[in-house]
Structure 1
Amino acid sequence: MLNVLLGMALIIVAGVAWKMVLGGKSAETIRSHLAQSVYHIFLPALVLHVLWQFPVGLNTIRIPVVALLSVLLSLLAAFLLYGNGKLVRAFLPGQANRAVGALLLASAFGNFSYLGLPVLSQTFGDWARVVAIHFDLLASTPLLFTIGIILARYYGGSGEGMHPLVSLFRVPAVWAALAGLTLSAAKVPIPVWFDGTLSTLGAAVVPLMLLSVGMALRWQSGWMARIPVLLPVILIQLILMPLIAWSAAIGTGMPDEYLAPVVIEGAMPTMVLGLVICDRFKLDVALYAEAVTLTTALSLLTLPFWLQLLS
């Protein structure tokens, strides 16, 4: 796995370097276009392709159940630590609500697609992509666009007036997941020409996602003073959540071959998409970006640890 992570780290570093060459404003514009192309075209194609070929069964239920427990219990742990605002006020006076909202999102919602897909596919094989897709699109994403949006509105600003469920069903990959599951359950064969098209489009997801992650990483001066505030995020995302996923997987009777991919998926760092949500609802974007950067960097150490522990 170390070689896999090093290879992916090089692509992420290339994204960081590209951002430095282009400059902040141009880099953010290009990163946004890359992310939008993945979001609207390449990821839905990959999701449809993978789920159409995956037989619907108990694992279609087990994986989302594990994901739901992982995200909700991690969110509960974060709320117990951050909810009263005392920890935040001690280090970030004057911006408690904005910071608490960002830290809650950073603690509970991992980079399950943007990093989970490449890590699982490169480590376990293409078959493991279904774990990332089930974990994210059938559990984490619905929670993000319901509970996550409600929390963002409460701690930040009103954002757009759209109902959270409406926001959820505007996610193209969710519709692709529903279509893929339906076609698989109905045992509809994939036409050869369409199979090739979906495969080609899906192949672009991993490199574009990793470049986008690299270009999204941000760092602010005075970060050492904020480490105590960010430490619970690191521990929850990289230690607690995979432990919850491991326990939940055993509790649901997860087949042995799925156990390691599910736990590794639960060990993903903070999601990049949260930057958009923090910006939209006036949460502390800079603090959230530091959580993304720190957890992503440290995951290069913790992911091999979890894999070694599971092997």
Structure 2
Amino acid sequence: MASVLTQMCLLILCGIAWRALRPGGLDGDQTRLVLTQLVYYLFLPGLILKLMSRSSLSAETWLILGYGVGIVGFGGILAALYGRWRRLPATQAGAVWLAVTFPNVTFLGLPVLQQTFGDWAALLVIQLDLFACTPLVLTLGVSVARALGDRRLDEDPFLALLRVPPLWAAGLALGLNLGGWSLPRWALDFFELLAQAVTPLMLLALGLGLDLRSLRWRSGSLVGPVIAIKLALMPLFGWWLGKRFGFVGDKLIALVLEAGMPSMLFGLVLCDRFGLDSRLYALLVTATTLFSLTSLPLWHALLKGGV
């Protein structure tokens, strides 16, 4: 896994360098927005159709869904307790809650697991994201951000789910799968071509989203516990929950690594939209992502050792 993360670090560093150097005069946030929209609307749906249209979903999908709900719920409880203990203002408490509750399942988790374990792990990530994490982000996450933010926007979170292209792709793939229909060869080759672009574009976008200027030593007392929760307690709970659900071997390791992913990038959008503390959230994303480059290989080595 160390060699996989080394390659991914280089791509993330390319994104960080682009943000600093602005080649062609392109702003880092502007470039990130273009890349994330391309992945969101085109390349990720292609990967989903490639994997899900050829794979038979089973009762294990429900266990993966339950696992996703479990880790999000546990993270949300810890985040609420932490914000209450620190007596954080509402806008900061909301940013911390989002950062702790929702892991970067897709933009970092998908590349890491697919490169480490193969396509079966990518399918696991897609099921975890589309059937658990994304619906919870767009319903529970939006509701909490609206309640704690200082901007009141009227938006139905359930309608927002209907505007998620990867979910449409998953629905189409499920229909093909359940109907026993197979895609023609040219379509599979096309989706394969789209799928190949997902990993590098996701990692570049992740690097573009990291703002190293946000790191401040004086913020350590606030950020340190978040790092400990995200990168230590969450995967530890994920290991316990995965064992309870009967997962073993590489599948258990993959799920634990997903539970130990850093904070999701999409939370920045929610912070900006609902008036939460975006600077604090950017700091938490950057810090947890940088520390995860050490914690993820450690968890992988520990679990591979048979713990």
Do they superpose with TM above 0.5?
A: yes
Q: TM-score range by the shorter chain?
A: over 0.9
Does structure 2 conserve the Cα–Cα contact (< 8 Å) formed by 1:47 and 1:177?
A: yes
Q: Deviations over 1:124-182 (max 9, x none)?
A: 11221011111111101111111100110011134542201111221111121222223
Q: What is the aligned partner in structure 2 of residue 260 from structure 1?
A: 253
Q: Deviations over 1:238-283 (max 9, x none)?
A: 1122122212211112253411111111111111111111111111
**Pair 1:202-2:230 in alignment:** no
- More moved, 241-250 vs 268-277: 241-250
Note the C-alpha offset of 1:72.
0.6
- Identity of paired residues, percent? 39
Q: What is the aligned partner in structure 1 of residue 106 from structure 2?
A: 113
**Pair 1:228-2:221 in alignment:** yes
The 1:222–1:115 alpha-carbon spacing in structure 2 relative to 1, beyond 3 Å, is closer
**Pair 1:78-2:71 in alignment:** no
The equivalences for 1:91-240 within 5 A come to 96-158=89-151, 160-220=153-213, 223-240=216-233
**Pair 1:306-2:290 in alignment:** no
CA distance in 1, matches of 2:52, 2:84: 38
Note the C-alpha offset of 1:190.
2.1
CA distance in 1, matches of 2:193, 2:260: 28
Amino acid at match of 1:129: A
CA distance in 2, matches of 1:224, 1:114: 27
Q: What is the aligned partner in structure 2 of residue 27 from structure 1?
A: 28
**Pair 1:52-2:58 in alignment:** no
CA distance in 2, matches of 1:182, 1:243: 36
Does structure 2 conserve the Cα–Cα contact (< 8 Å) formed by 1:74 and 1:241?
A: yes
Does structure 1 conserve the Cα–Cα contact (< 8 Å) formed by 2:71 and 2:234?
A: yes
CA distance in 2, matches of 1:241, 1:70: 7
Note the C-alpha offset of 1:187.
2.5
Structure 1: stretches of 5+ with no match in the other structure: 89-95
Note the C-alpha offset of 1:13.
0.3
Q: What is the aligned partner in structure 1 of residue 69 from structure 2?
A: 68
Q: Deviations over 1:14-44 (max 9, x none)?
A: 0010111118972211111111111111111
Note the C-alpha offset of 1:219.
3.5
The 1:257–1:84 alpha-carbon spacing in structure 2 relative to 1, beyond 3 Å, is closer
Q: Deviations over 1:204-230 (max 9, x none)?
A: 111000000000001446721211112
Does structure 2 conserve the Cα–Cα contact (< 8 Å) formed by 1:220 and 1:286?
A: no
Q: Helix, strand or coil for the counterpart of 1:254? A: coil
Q: What is the aligned partner in structure 2 of residue 293 from structure 1?
A: 286
Does structure 1 conserve the Cα–Cα contact (< 8 Å) formed by 2:215 and 2:287?
A: no
Structure 2: stretches of 5+ with no match in the other structure: none
Q: What is the aligned partner in structure 1 of residue 6 from structure 2?
A: 6
Q: How many aligned residue pairs are there?
A: 303
Q: TM-score, normalised by structure 1?
A: 0.93
CA distance in 1, matches of 2:45, 2:220: 36
What RMSD, in angstroms, separates the aligned Cα atoms of the two structures? 1.6
Does structure 2 conserve the Cα–Cα contact (< 8 Å) formed by 1:62 and 1:254?
A: no
Q: Helix, strand or coil for the counterpart of 2:243? A: helix
CA distance in 1, matches of 2:31, 2:249: 41
Q: Helix, strand or coil for the counterpart of 1:53? A: coil
Q: What is the aligned partner in structure 1 of residue 241 from structure 2?
A: 248
Amino acid at match of 1:75: G
Does structure 2 conserve the Cα–Cα contact (< 8 Å) formed by 1:71 and 1:241?
A: no
